[in-house]
Structures are given as structure tokens and as C-alpha cells.
């Protein structure tokens, strides 16, 4: 995870990436003297971290107490209310590997009149590794980021396309018909 302008997400490393507009760090300090990222930069680190499967780094983007919801989740999962819950959410099952390769394609990051809140429109685009079949999963995240940490987010995404890309459509159908 980038916090100081160095490392795998630093601007100088961005040339190796599909879209070098991601991974922009700003060494501005927060009230404790720690480097702080803007809400846009936190969002970009999040979606790129998901695509790069940096599961152990992602919880650090969140505040200790948080409220993350997925309003369109067909499984009706409750909100994630702590960094520990976020860590559990991002921890893949032991021995599992992702069936997809993806990258974020950002349409827009809208700033609002509240400097802590952004609305991000994007897609996870990629391919199913086994078949080479392309996919696109549209998403909209409404995020509140305070002192460089995500404190609240409503993550709207197309769960059907996500299940199709992962080969879990049958489990999804079973879950929503029970």
C-alpha cells in the first residue's frame, strides 16, 4: 500500500501498469504527521489493491470503526463495522486462487460538497483465467474518507456479473431462491 510515495504503487512504478493515472501518492501529512491520501487516492488504492489481490494491505485503508455496506448484495450480508471484519471479508479461503484476472477502469470520481465524500463510477474488467472469456462488472461506490481512512462506504455492484465471472452463478441462484 502506498503512503509515502515509494514502493510498488509509487508514481515512478506506474509505468508498468495498464493505467498509470492510478497509484498517485500525495505526501501531505495528517494531524499526526503521517502521510495522508486524498479520498480519490484512497479509492484508487482500494480498487487497484483488489485487482492486485493485496488482501493483507487492504484493511489498512479502513478506519478501525467503519460502516461498509453492499446494498445490492443478493446474499443480504450485513454491514462490515470494523477493520477486523474488513480483514475477514478480504481473506480468501486457504489454498484458493482467483479464477479471474481484473483491472479497474474508472469512469469518474465525483467530489461532493462534503470534502470527505466521493462517488466513484467504475468497472472491474478482466478475463476468466480458465476460458479467456472477458467480463465487465459495473460498480458505483459512495465513500466517506476521513484522515485518509475509509469510514463509510456503500458499494453498489452487479453481483450477477460477478458470480458469472467467478463461475458461482449456481450458488447465487440457490441462495436467492431459498
In the chain the domains, ranked by start, together with CATH numbers, are 11-177 (3.10.450.50)
**pLDDT, position 28:** 58
**pLDDT, position 15:** 39
**pLDDT, position 95:** 84
In whole angstroms, what is the distance from residue 158 CA to residue 165 CA?
11
**pLDDT, position 66:** 97
**pLDDT, position 17:** 42
What is the three-state SS of 32-90?
Answer: CCCECCCHHHHHHHHHHHHHCCCCCCHHHHEEEEEEEECCCCCCCCCCEEEHHHHHHHH
Residue 159: its H or E element: helix 159-166
- In the sheet that 62-69 helps form, which strands lie side by side, from edge to edge? 80-82, 62-69, 149-157, 134-146, 117-128, 100-111
In whole angstroms, what is the distance from residue 4 CA to residue 27 CA?
6
**pLDDT, position 31:** 57
**pLDDT, position 30:** 55
Mean pLDDT (10-residue bins), the chain, 178 residues = 36 41 49 77 96 95 97 92 96 89 95 97 96 96 96 96 92 88
| Residues whose CB falls within 8 Å of the CB of residue 158, separated by 6 or more in sequence, listed in order | 72, 137, 138, 139
In whole angstroms, what is the distance from residue 122 CA to residue 139 CA?
5
**pLDDT, position 11:** 39
Yes or no: say if 118 and 43 are a contact pair by the CB < 8 Å rule: yes
Amino acid at each position: 500500500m502506498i503512503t509515502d510515495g515509494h514502493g510498488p504503487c509509487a508514481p515512478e512504478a506506474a509505468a508498468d501498469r495498464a493505467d498509470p493515472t492510478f497509484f498517485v501518492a500525495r505526501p501531505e501529512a495528517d494531524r499526526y504527521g503521517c502521510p495522508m491520501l486524498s479520498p480519490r487516492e484512497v479509492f484508487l488504492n482500494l480498487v487497484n489493491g483488489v485487482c492486485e489481490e493485496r488482501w493483507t494491505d487492504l484493511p489498512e485503508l479502513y478506519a478501525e470503526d467503519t460502516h461498509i455496506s453492499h446494498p445490492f448484495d443478493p446474499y443480504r450480508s450485513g454491514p462490515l463495522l470494523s477493520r477486523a471484519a474488513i480483514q475477514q471479508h478480504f481473506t480468501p479461503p486457504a489454498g484458493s486462487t482467483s479464477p479471474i484476472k481484473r483491472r479497474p477502469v474508472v469512469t469518474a470520481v465525483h467530489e461532493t460538497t462534503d470534502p470527505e465524500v466521493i462517488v466513484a463510477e467504475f468497472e472491474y474488467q478482466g478475463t476468466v483465467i480458465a476460458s479467456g472469456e472477458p467480463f465487465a462488472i459495473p460498480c458505483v461506490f459512495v465513500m466517506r474518507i476521513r484522515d485518509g481512512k475509509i469510514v463509510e462506504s456503500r458499494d453498489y455492484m452487479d453481483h450477477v456479473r460477478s458470480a458469472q465471472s467467478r463461475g458461482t452463478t449456481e450458488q447465487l441462484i440457490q441462495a436467492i431462491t431459498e
